[in-house]
């Protein structure tokens, strides 16, 4: 089988930095993705890592260590609009995309 672990909740103030960790166990690992979902909305793609290292997209960065089966999403210069659920997702080599339970990020003024 496979599993993904990520924290259930994180709270931070505007302007802060938040790191959401994700550890996974799976066979046939292909890549790790991150998605954002606001209340009542659809999940939207944030980033993807297939190789070890850091990928930066504006205020958001994502990191992957394949040897440690670990990745994280870094949210910088937090804004109120970043309050949402964040999901890590593993893409396997059979194309199956499986999601973690999600991390609820709450940004306080």
Partner 1 sequence: KAGVTQTPRYLIKTRGQQVTLSCSPISGHRSVSWYQQTPGQGLQFLFEYFSETQRNKGNFPGRFSGRQFSNSRSEMNVSTLELGDSALYLCASSHRDAEAFFGQGTRLTVV
Site for partner 1, rule CB under 8 A = 30-31, 33, 35, 41-45, 48, 50, 87, 89, 91, 94-102
User: Maximum CA pair distance of the chain?
Assistant: 43
Choice between 14 and 31, CB closer to partner 1? 31
Q: Cβ 48 to partner 1, closest distance in Å?
A: 4
Residue 26 has phi, psi (to 5 degrees) of -160, 160
Residue among 17 and 54 whose Cβ is closer to partner 1: 54
Q: Are 7 and 60 in contact (CB under 8 A)?
A: no
Backbone phi and psi for residue 73, each to the nearest 5 degrees, phi listed first: -115, 130
With tokens 């979902």, the residue in question is 37
Cβ(3)–Cβ(67) below 8 Å: no
Which position has the token pair 């103030």? 13
Indicate the residue among 16 and 44 with the shorter CB distance to partner 1.
Answer: 44
Q: Which is nearer to partner 1, 51 or 109 (CB)?
A: 51
Q: What's the min distance (Å) between Cβ of 98 and partner 1?
A: 5
Least Cβ distance, residue 15 to partner 1 (angstroms) = 29
């Amino acid at each position: 089988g496979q599993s993904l672990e990520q924290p259930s909740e994180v709270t931070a103030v505007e302007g802060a930095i938040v790191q959401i960790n994700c550890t996974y166990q799976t066979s046939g690992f292909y890549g790790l993705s991150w998605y954002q979902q606001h209340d009542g909305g659809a999940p939207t793609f944030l980033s993807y890592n297939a190789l070890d290292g850091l990928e930066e997209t504006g205020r958001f960065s994502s990191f992957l260590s394949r040897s440690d089966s670990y990745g994280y999403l870094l949210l910088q210069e937090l804004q109120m609009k970043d309050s949402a659920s964040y999901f890590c997702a593993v893409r396997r080599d059979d194309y199956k995309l499986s999601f973690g339970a999600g991390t609820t990020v709450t940004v306080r003024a």
